Amino acid sequence: MRALPGKVKHTFITYKTPIVYASSSIIKAFATLVAGFFIAKFISPEDLGLWTTLSLFITYALFLQGGVINGLNLELPLSFGEGKNKRGRLMVSVAQTFTLYLSVAFFLVGILLYLFFPFESDKVKYGVLAVSFIIVFTFYQNHLLSTFRSNNSFLKLSYLQIVDAVVNLITILLVFYFSYYGMLLKAVIVIILFVILLHINRPIKVIMKWDKKIFLKLFKVGFPIFILAYAESLALTFDKLMLIRFTDLKNLGFYSFALYALVFSTLFSNSIASYIYPKMSFQYGKDKNKLILWQYVKKITALLLIIQIPLFLVGYFVIPKVVTDFFPNYIESIVPMQILLFAGIMKGSVIGVNVIWSMKKWKYMIIYQASYSVLVVGFIYLFIHLYSNKIIGVSFGLMYANIANLIMGVFLSYKATHTN
């Protein structure tokens, strides 16, 4: 058999990675959706609402990472793009040391809470323990994922995502046999196994080192990015906080079920973002050409809309029948689910805005993150008061916030790439 010509071979290798990575992300997204629906089948809306409430602490705890991982996400591909590989590896060592110490400290806090805090019920007690484990391993997972940056490492990560999807599906049996407690055990097992696989296959294997200057550099670069993203994360808990305020755990359970539509519709775009972001940072570190980055923004935004809108139309008509036939306890989630499916399409299509981070355009970062947080809080607050059905009100609020944010994101990306 004749060998592939050099140009054809190069083209095949270039497109193989994003295709395989995107495919593995779709598989993982599908597994997540199936697992979520299966959990809802065997978990009451009240228990699902309780778990959603406890899971909010995962978001709040990420504040402890302080932006170091965000700094590594940006500085590592920039260092490699500039040919400063030794410096890049030292950054990984320092971030790893910080993350591991932080994880151990938080793990001890979680154990002490489990042993000595007087919880009102066993469901809350074991839920807090599960959340503590998840937070600890999420810290290290975030660090490890920031080191997967080359084509080869993305291919390896693709295969790990497929394994993760299989584990996610197999552990559904725990929910079948142990209901709420099985759901807790399942969540812990899935993230622990995935982090173990990431650790074993990490592309940059370094020992623990400490360098104060490197740490402060990562913190200085990453903290502004982090604090803006964290403000957004807090804003995205506002829907659940409002439902807890105006309704009860059962209604929060209905809304949590509806959120599966939003989560599923953004998993694909999020996976593409994790591939595109380091590529843009590398490209900018290499030639400092802003207009090339704008081409990235236009192409990825258009492509995601073209792919995802037909999927939304299919999902919109499929959701009522699927929920009615298989999840009759969640009938009240149908309309919110349709609304949030479209919200997810809008949210996922704005990933080109990462170009602002690649260029370190701080002014536009602040405008984008702050405006999105305000849009989310403002629209949710407005629509929850406009609708007697609070779940539908919150869903519409989130949808309109993401429509406005897509327009804002594209506009700011254009401004950032066309001004000095």
pLDDT digits (tens, 9 = 90+) for 390-401: 999 999 999 999
Residues 338, 257: Cα–Cα separation, whole Å: 12
Contact call for residues 49 and 253 (beta carbons, < 8 A): yes
User: Does residue 223 sit within a domain?
Assistant: no
User: Does residue 380 sit within a domain?
Assistant: yes
Q: Which residues contact 51 (CB under 8 A, 6 or more apart)?
A: 43, 127, 180, 183, 184, 256
As a whole number, mean pLDDT of residues 276-285 equals 64
Would the pLDDT of 317 be above 60?
Answer: yes
Letter for the amino acid at 268? F
User: Does residue 293 sit within a domain?
Assistant: yes
Q: Which residues contact 290 (CB under 8 A, 6 or more apart)?
A: 284, 359, 416, 417, 418
Amino acid 289: pLDDT:
67
Calculate the CA dihedral of residues 332, 337, 343, 349 and round it to 10 degrees: 170
Residues 342, 262: Cα–Cα separation, whole Å: 8
> For the chain, what is the domain count?
1
Amino acid 265: pLDDT:
81
What is the extent of the structural domain holding 385? 236-420
Contact call for residues 28 and 165 (beta carbons, < 8 A): yes
Backbone φ and ψ of 391, nearest 5°? -65, -45
Q: Which two tokens stand for residue 305?
A: 């809309």
What would the pLDDT profile of 153-176 be if each residue is shown by its tens digit? 778 888 999 999 999 999 999 999
Residues 54, 125: Cα–Cα separation, whole Å: 10
Closest CA to 396 of 244, 242, 245, 228: 242
As a whole number, mean pLDDT of residues 100-119 equals 92
- Other Cβ atoms less than 10 A from the Cβ of 99: the count is 22
The rounded mean pLDDT for the chain is: 87
Calculate the CA dihedral of residues 207, 209, 213, 219 and round it to 10 degrees: 70
Q: What percent of the chain has pLDDT over 70?
A: 90
User: Does residue 339 sit within a domain?
Assistant: yes
**Residue 4 in 3-state DSSP?**
coil
Q: Which two tokens stand for residue 117?
A: 């805090």
Confidence of residue 284 (pLDDT cuts 50, 70, 90): low
User: Does residue 31 sit within a domain?
Assistant: no
Confidence of residue 5 (pLDDT cuts 50, 70, 90): low
User: Does residue 384 sit within a domain?
Assistant: yes
Residues 303, 298: Cα–Cα separation, whole Å: 8
- Considering the entire predicted model, what is its pTM? 0.76
Would the pLDDT of 12 be above 60?
Answer: no
User: Does residue 209 sit within a domain?
Assistant: no
Highest mean pLDDT among 183-192, 196-205, 363-372: 183-192
Identify the H or E element spanning 267: helix 249-287
Residues 14, 24: Cα–Cα separation, whole Å: 17
Q: What percent of the chain has pLDDT over 90?
A: 50
User: Does residue 298 sit within a domain?
Assistant: yes
